[in-house]
Structure 1
């Protein structure tokens, strides 16, 4: 009898493991693990834009750490301080006199590192709390397995206790707006568990109704703002068989065959200046429809809604035996092994995170997306707009998720309102502006004092997303709707630019090259390269938008005059693209920010074909800055090396990023946690999004007058296939390659017009497609880049123009809705 039981158990174990391995081999879009999460950085993220959770998967005590996107500390109100304009004028005067240390000292005095008692430096995003499901006796579970299927957006946990197989499925439903946990077992009547809630919020209580568990709370106070976001979480189990009973603060499921737990959360937040909502009514409003739907139908509706986004793009870079290993093992072995499938999984994981954290009608993804377990998270988990928020949305257009850009656009409309206060009070300028941080309340004033915070360029960078969305979609109605936001940003710089004394150029002052210094403790400056590039784009975009919409031509003429007085980019004595107006760069500077390379990516001001000296200088700057850095910095560098047409260096940065992050709570070591979330450290989500957009840039680019096919293909990916990437002008690109050469290319034109294609191997046209050698400038209006001024090159520089690989450039006349196919020669 004992031998028979052992044999049966062994056969069951072998079958279980075989099924698990077959599942992985059949579906490469799975993160899977042979053990539960020991900490937050091993838990698995789910979300539906508004709600988010981290699922730990512990057999004996399942934890779902819960977030609702509007649970932030504080209350409505801006953070603009009054009476600082004369001080700003004083900083300008000192800068133009070359008294840089004195200018920094004055900036620090006017904007102290700690917020004044009457102001604040932004509110933190906060957790709701935790749902805990306790399963007595399950601590001794065997044959453990858990996964996150990013093709379905479902987390699964499976294990055995005393011969019974227990399974949990968890997802954040997009259509039903609730989080759903499904509990099943291989033997009827086997599910017994206790449901409880807790929260670190100082003001909260847990109570029960006969079939409902309720957490009520209020967000925390911070700086000079009282916490006024009220929230409720409603937990409702639907039990099949067995019984459901309650205590004062828990629910008990006993002897059930299956159970489905629904989690609904609501707050009193209506918008950034209105907290008159009813949190209880909102939380309760989602439950009737969700409870009325049977679990199979609820899951199917969720998966269908999710895959409507996810399935638009596929990427296959090849597969090896590594796909059969747990994801944390693959991560540890990536740098030394050959696992192209992990790079493809990581690319799609970034798209998964964007779908889960930025749905139309929600708040934008913040510094941690929507996943945060703290009341005081790192950097407050705010919107840091001197790179990080922008990075979150780099994948939106190119990886075929344009609707997910909408929350950022909605925030921009609000910032264009609140930003009028900072433009007027601090700079005596019209239009609107913001600095390097904002939050749920859409603050636009200085954050973090006179060093980090003295950067009035946040709106300039964010508005680029409006223009890029137009270039990818050609949506005139969208451009007309958001033109006032573009115009307001341009109007601010039209008023705020200052004439510097040496060349009479118009520059932004005071400002800085984000978070970097040119003297010890001195960063405040005038006319930094990034600022000049940003203002160039703001003015150029406003001019082109006004022409397209046939409006504001006198204002556009004013901007043209100002545009001609901006400083040109400069090549310094070390053959570098200068970061500052003066030649202050240090070749040994390894700072995480590479702000002066904004013109290379995400902008399109530096081209290997149109201005090779700047292209070479940008490459030198990036080499000097080094590879290893914070996670988000390495994500940015993947994009930069792709734009520099160096696929192998871009791949090296991916490998650096796909190295296990340590246990340090802070630092600049980068890497990736076991759950594939990006490490600064600690966790920031922007590195995930940066690598996703970077891989897309390695395969298809469309910023430099043509669609460039495989512009930065690394040796590590000699064969592959990608479908669904989007190029400017509304072109959808499917392509396959072998031995580094295109074997199949399909272009679907959404808008029609001339499609200019740059190829690095020859193709033959099929069907009605006809390629003709390109001549002159691409007439397609979505490929018209504004000409930059010729760069100034230091007499000490010995810049070498890049040697570019041969390419073939063709034009293809397309009609809207038509598809054109080519095969490799």
Structure 2
């Protein structure tokens, strides 16, 4: 009966049925005062949260460069002198004493990072609209437009809001279906101190201000917001602080925002001139002339991937109702909606030439947001970009890749002054000013691997694109990150391996260390050192340079510690076997080697593969939002689709459903809690990994298909080496059809769950030996050290077939089930 009522409501709702709702978030009630109910729009530089309220609409405004503070450094000059003593204490097992010293000598005495801040809110007040009916609002992800529709006194009112990609303004288009019925007032509110809010003689509404001073750093970012209304019918007047529209048929509101930020060293821009130029270029255009190019620019990215798992009756419910019922009903369409929402959010918060998506993407309504909305580079910022290459958004990786290159500049002084090392490094956190010092406290901040891990994204971009000119440009960054490790690693007096000391396994600590996170040679530190050495070696060999340096890296790599399987059959987090099987910490950092790295493989390192599974079982499923997103990727790599789907169910649960864990808000934002966007991006990556993996020497199709996704299709996702899965279809858990485009040529090695043949009937060659495609080289890790106490553990794998197909660049190869 409830479902019938909802269907009846939808049929009678104004505007329902006009377009396909498969890729829409939609609701039958406004957001009210709850920010996490509002719908996000963005163009990479501008972000808006559209509440969809009726009488008092709110559109919360962000601009990607509006941060507190200004250019600054936060290195601690006492670090280098204290380094030998910190190392001695750690080697002697006195980690807590070492942590206390690191808090004094390594953690910054200056800024712990600056804050991403909102500009303010635009308020639209509609007198007489307090009583309404037939309410409906949506976010149309295929058009990147938020819409609100309702009826008052027999008049249907419609609002559309977008953040234009080509025109770099936000636009609100308002209509009434009867002439002369549209009247409203526009005004601002802001949380900034001493803002300027006024109207101009040209009937422009202006908000101006400056980012906050914070932790001794003077606010240097000045911002300007200009709003102007173009009316169709009626008239526009102004008070001192508002614009008033009376008796219009329709109106279009243009919102321009700009700052004086030019780059992390330079805030000499003219925010007034820039905001005015954006507004003036857009204001001369009709709404339709704004809308069509906006949709085209957005769809250039969004339409590259098509994903279909089927639908069910649950798809007829509003999005918040679907979220509540997802754990208990079959709703495959919500998975595809959530998957594409991750891609929508990345397109909307990360565009070439702009800033990377931060901890909240580009959407924040607080002057002091959680964790300052910075870039946490011990997992969260990287997770934001896990979907970039594989979901065919490679260009949108650029802001993050540029940030890494900028960190390689600021991080040189940190490496030299704090650790006496060449090259560059970064600790666990940074901001728009590209600070690389250690912050927050040694428990969190005494981690030296931020530079090496973020550098892997530069290498990943090359592996997907094959662009050697790009590789040559970024090679100095890889080399610099590797050089830091050459200088920083030190011989372990007990084990005689080269180890990072001080280092840590982020934000976790064994009881044996008296609650300190500091240690020498943690598993994650070793894995990241292995990766930065390996990627730099391969890049140098491709570019035919630095033979002597390559030899040095090979020698250093041989001296890194192997991974260990401990007494409980777990992958050890630390060099010593001190893991607690009842530890359910959200960080499982030592599984970096399983994903995003590929040092742990079912085919090359089966003992480590089984140990990784044991570790995940011990840690449990329920955790904070971003951690559950990472776990989807891990269970996909473990080829356990049903367990990966369990994590998706946990993720797609309303906040509060998972005791002591995260979930999802009504607008499908990830709940850490509070909101962190990395969980959205991590889950989109994980779903892709369930359907296709390409990191372990082959393109593995349907490696972790859950039982509930019995049939479906996906097209447009990318694999290493320039391969595109143009179309992949399956039924009954078996492949039925696959089309793959080869952009670069080379050997296509396919690992599949069932026998396939080339369209036309040509026989496929079974693959043997190493994949000759250079993009699929896998580095051999040292043999695992297995505790004699560990019970022998194995993980059964699904049977697969593996084929080799020579390809030519530009051709599409079609395969059918035999």
- Give the shorter-chain TM-score range: over 0.9
CA-to-aligned-CA distance 1:767-803 (integer Å, 9 cap, x gap): 4865211011000000001111101000101122222
- Answering whether residue 138 of structure 2 is matched by residue 147 of structure 1, we say yes
* Alpha-carbon distance, 1:202 to partner: 0.8
The answer as to whether partners of 1:770 and 1:812 remain within 8 angstroms in 2 is no
CA-to-aligned-CA distance 1:664-683 (integer Å, 9 cap, x gap): 9xx95210000000000000
Report the Cα distance in structure 1 between the residues aligned to 2:94 and 2:73, rounded to whole angstroms. 32
Which residue does the alignment assign to 1:620? Answer: 614
* Alpha-carbon distance, 1:84 to partner: 1.8
- Answering whether residue 84 of structure 2 is matched by residue 93 of structure 1, we say no
Report the Cα distance in structure 2 between the residues aligned to 1:306 and 1:768, rounded to whole angstroms. 39
Alpha-carbon RMSD across the aligned residues, in angstroms, is 1.5
Which residue does the alignment assign to 2:418? Answer: 426
The answer as to whether partners of 2:757 and 2:763 remain within 8 angstroms in 1 is no
* Alpha-carbon distance, 1:249 to partner: 0.6
- Of the candidates 319, 322, 342, which is equivalent to residue 330 of structure 1? 322
Secondary structure, counterpart of 1:203 in structure 2? coil
Which residue does the alignment assign to 1:61? Answer: 56
* Alpha-carbon distance, 1:287 to partner: 1.6
Report the Cα distance in structure 2 between the residues aligned to 1:601 and 1:99, rounded to whole angstroms. 31
CA-to-aligned-CA distance 1:586-617 (integer Å, 9 cap, x gap): 00000000100000000011110111000000
Which residue does the alignment assign to 1:203? Answer: 194
Secondary structure, counterpart of 1:197 in structure 2? strand
The answer as to whether partners of 1:21 and 1:324 remain within 8 angstroms in 2 is no
Secondary structure, counterpart of 1:651 in structure 2? helix
The answer as to whether partners of 1:769 and 1:821 remain within 8 angstroms in 2 is no
The answer as to whether partners of 1:767 and 1:820 remain within 8 angstroms in 2 is no
Secondary structure, counterpart of 2:632 in structure 1? helix
Report the Cα distance in structure 2 between the residues aligned to 1:623 and 1:196, rounded to whole angstroms. 53
Secondary structure, counterpart of 1:423 in structure 2? helix
* Alpha-carbon distance, 1:106 to partner: 1.9
The answer as to whether partners of 1:334 and 1:659 remain within 8 angstroms in 2 is yes
Which residue does the alignment assign to 2:435? Answer: 443
The answer as to whether partners of 1:129 and 1:200 remain within 8 angstroms in 2 is yes
Which residue does the alignment assign to 2:176? Answer: 185
**Higher alpha-carbon deviation: 525-534 or 655-664:** 655-664
* Alpha-carbon distance, 1:110 to partner: 2.5
The answer as to whether partners of 2:78 and 2:106 remain within 8 angstroms in 1 is no
Secondary structure, counterpart of 1:106 in structure 2? helix
The answer as to whether partners of 1:35 and 1:146 remain within 8 angstroms in 2 is yes
Which residue does the alignment assign to 1:491? Answer: 483
Unaligned runs of 5+ in 2: 1-7
CA-to-aligned-CA distance 1:298-324 (integer Å, 9 cap, x gap): 101000000000000011001001111
CA-to-aligned-CA distance 1:80-113 (integer Å, 9 cap, x gap): 121221212211011112222222222233246x
Which residue does the alignment assign to 2:731? Answer: 738
Secondary structure, counterpart of 2:791 in structure 1? coil
Secondary structure, counterpart of 1:463 in structure 2? helix
Instruction: Provide closer, same or farther for how the CA distance between residues 509 and 642 of structure 1 changes in structure 2, counting only shifts above 3 A.
Output: same
- Answering whether residue 633 of structure 2 is matched by residue 642 of structure 1, we say no
Report the Cα distance in structure 1 between the residues aligned to 2:663 and 2:29, rounded to whole angstroms. 21
Which residue does the alignment assign to 1:52? Answer: 47
The answer as to whether partners of 1:750 and 1:817 remain within 8 angstroms in 2 is yes
Report the Cα distance in structure 1 between the residues aligned to 2:194 and 2:377, rounded to whole angstroms. 31
CA-to-aligned-CA distance 1:53-99 (integer Å, 9 cap, x gap): 00000010110000000110001011112122121221101111222
In the TM superposition, 1:172-571 aligns within 5 A as 172-209=163-200, 210-519=202-511, 520-571=514-565
- Answering whether residue 755 of structure 2 is matched by residue 774 of structure 1, we say no
* Alpha-carbon distance, 1:765 to partner: 1.1
Secondary structure, counterpart of 2:664 in structure 1? coil
Aligned pairs, how many?
Answer: 807
Secondary structure, counterpart of 1:541 in structure 2? helix
- Of the candidates 750, 753, 764, which is equivalent to residue 760 of structure 1? 753
Instruction: Provide closer, same or farther for how the CA distance between residues 743 and 768 of structure 1 changes in structure 2, counting only shifts above 3 A.
Output: closer
Report the Cα distance in structure 2 between the residues aligned to 1:641 and 1:368, rounded to whole angstroms. 25
Which residue does the alignment assign to 1:6? Answer: none
Which residue does the alignment assign to 1:602? Answer: 596
- Answering whether residue 777 of structure 2 is matched by residue 784 of structure 1, we say yes
> TM-score, normalized by length of structure 1?
0.96
Report the Cα distance in structure 1 between the residues aligned to 2:101 and 2:293, rounded to whole angstroms. 58
Instruction: Provide closer, same or farther for how the CA distance between residues 257 and 495 of structure 1 changes in structure 2, counting only shifts above 3 A.
Output: same
Which residue does the alignment assign to 1:661? Answer: 655
The answer as to whether partners of 1:74 and 1:227 remain within 8 angstroms in 2 is yes
Instruction: Provide closer, same or farther for how the CA distance between residues 41 and 18 of structure 1 changes in structure 2, counting only shifts above 3 A.
Output: closer
CA-to-aligned-CA distance 1:182-225 (integer Å, 9 cap, x gap): 00010011110000011101131101013210000000011010
The answer as to whether partners of 1:700 and 1:707 remain within 8 angstroms in 2 is yes
Unaligned runs of 5+ in 1: 1-12
* Alpha-carbon distance, 1:748 to partner: 0.5
Secondary structure, counterpart of 2:519 in structure 1? coil
Report the Cα distance in structure 2 between the residues aligned to 1:161 and 1:547, rounded to whole angstroms. 69
Report the Cα distance in structure 1 between the residues aligned to 2:684 and 2:123, rounded to whole angstroms. 33
Report the Cα distance in structure 2 between the residues aligned to 1:81 and 1:767, rounded to whole angstroms. 66
